[in-house]
Amino acid sequence: MRLSASVPLRAIHLGLAFFAFAYVSSAEAKGKGQEAAPYTPPYSELVVDARTGKTLYAVSPDAQRHPASITKVMTLYLLFEELDAGRLSLNSQIKISAWAQKQAPSKLGLNAGDTISVEDAIKAVVTKSANDVAVAIAEAIGGNEANFAALMTKKAKSIGMTRTVYANASGLPNPRQLTTARDLVTLGKALQQRFPKYFAYFSIRSFDYDGDTIGNHNKLLGRVDGVDGIKTGYTQASGFNLLTSVHQDNKALLAVILGGRSGPARDRRMAELVDTYLDKASDGTDPAKKRVATAVAPISQGDAESTTPVAEAKILTKPTVVDEAHADQAWWIQIGVTKSEKQAMALLTDVRGSQDVLAANAVPMAEKIHVSGQDMWRSRFLKLSETEAASACTKLKKRGVACFASRS
């Protein structure tokens, strides 16, 4: 059973029906009785085991759909990159332009010339799905919304979202703005793995701003056990959309519904998918997986004759400094963030055991980090060239492993 103890299974369908009344935009609130656009087939659904990448259930996962306000997940992804790089901080101020002010609801209602902190902007986008704030973020990073949309599309391609095109930062209606259920799962997984600290914002159930308390449009938060984000969406062309993350009992799901007939129906269906497929997800103790893990080759420390197993690999707790003589090996790839050193090591072992993925000189690193009061572990391979890093990520993504590359 995956439903909160405060909401019994027999009551969840009725409960979701009456509490799901506010969504991504005012159009969503007004459109409860409307049917989704006439897609063929009419809707997409996808449930993926977020630990293994295995598809547990799928209906038209690669059919293109309009993302509506799930678009804002990518908008925030690019904002999190700015925070991670130090180009912005949570206290940085974002200015509202005349164009941002003109955006259709849902919005925070800020006036041109007003400013909002980056942290409040994140919360406004997550809870209120504020279109004016999403555009202001786009302008702060890209100079204008069109440039930012191009950056969004480029980022989508780089993380493996092969059928996604962005035309704006908000998800307001645009026929060119397209994605798929599979691409959205790819985005959700990449965001969780690269930005676990910032992903926590998607679990916020309300946001206090300027004397008002703004509730999150995602009504599954606090109602269905394990649901910890991430985003709803609605336009008349898209139908009722929902990207959902679930973590419970050492299991994890990413699930998507695109083209739902109504908000309540969409939420009821997502609750059913979570309840059905969380039991089928891996908790990391599958005997077959353990046998594979013990059979893979040990990770070398860069010495061709080394047989040092990954469990004994050196744990780096400080960034590696790359001198000028080794600048061609200044790149690294990250393949995951886990809750324990053991899990981080197992991930490194699994990837190193994959044939023809990593350069022989790749050095494994399990790095301890502190995220929201909790110790986490990053799994990375160091001392790669730019070409080697890009090649490894391309191959890993084809195998369902999230990966991103960066320079030291």
pLDDT at 60: 94
- Model confidence at 5, pLDDT cuts 50, 70, 90, reads very low
Q: Give the single-character DSSP code of 1.
A: -
- Share the mean pLDDT of the chain: 81
- Model confidence at 18, pLDDT cuts 50, 70, 90, reads very low
Q: What is the pLDDT of residues 213-245, one digit of tens each?
A: 999 999 999 899 899 998 999 999 999 999 999
> Taking the CB of residue 320, how many other CB atoms lie within 10 A of it?
15
**Domains along the sequence of the chain with CATH:** 9-277 (3.40.710.10), 288-407 (3.30.70.1070)
d(CA 32, CA 156): 30
**Lowest model confidence (mean pLDDT) among 28-32, 100-104, 214-218:** 28-32
Strands 44-49 and 55-59: antiparallel
Q: Is the pTM of this model over 0.85?
A: no
Determine contact, residues 233/184, Cβ cutoff 8 Å.
no
Q: What is the pLDDT of residues 302-361, one digit of tens each?
A: 322 222 233 333 333 333 333 444 456 778 898 888 888 888 887 887 787 766 788 888
- Model confidence at 211, pLDDT cuts 50, 70, 90, reads very high
Q: Which residues contact 196 (CB under 8 A, 6 or more apart)?
A: 337, 371, 372, 376
Is the bond preceding 41 in cis, omega lying within 30 degrees of 0?
yes
Count of CA atoms in the C-beta half-sphere (13 A) of 140: 27
Is 295's pLDDT higher than 90? no
Greater confidence (231 vs 286) lies with 231
Q: What is the pLDDT of residues 169-187, one digit of tens each?
A: 999 999 999 999 999 999 9
Of 45, 60, 58, nearest to 257 (Cα)?
Answer: 45
Burial of 17 (0-12, 13-18, 19+ CB in 10 A): middle
- Model confidence at 365, pLDDT cuts 50, 70, 90, reads confident
**Lowest model confidence (mean pLDDT) among 108-117, 148-157, 199-208, 357-366:** 357-366
The answer to whether the Cα torsion of 248, 251, 254, 260 is positive or negative is negative
